[in-house]
Amino acid sequence: MTELRVRKPDGWTTVSFPDEVATISVVGGKVDGQLCLTLTGEREDGPRIVEPGILDVDENDEHLLENTVPRTEDGTSIVLESLLSDQLWL
């Protein structure tokens, strides 16, 4: 089992992917109109596993991903930076 620590809107949590998942990728998109990250686990003999609504992946777990989380120069996830910027305008 591959486990990654991720940040969701309600805080940090762990998501798990079964051993038969060959690769885990991160993609950007929107959920309910809000920019977020989605993790997708690819496996040969089954449907893709999808974990939507993610704001960030712990940098210590990022090596488990096929690609990297888009980040600002200071290391903040682009998605989290966007959310924080939007809140400053409220």
pLDDT digits (tens, 9 = 90+) for 29-45: 776 777 789 999 998 88
Number of domains in the chain: 1
2: nearest Cα among 51, 47, 45 = 51
d(CA 1, CA 75): 27
Reading the block at residue 50, the tokens are 């999808």
Task: Give the structural domain span for 8.
Answer: 2-88
Q: What is the pTM of this model?
A: 0.80
d(CA 85, CA 4): 26
DSSP classification of residue 77? B
Please count the CA atoms within 13 angstroms of the CA of 85 that sit on its side-chain side. 10
d(CA 75, CA 44): 33
pLDDT digits (tens, 9 = 90+) for 9-65: 889 999 999 988 989 999 887 767 777 899 999 988 888 899 988 888 999 999 999
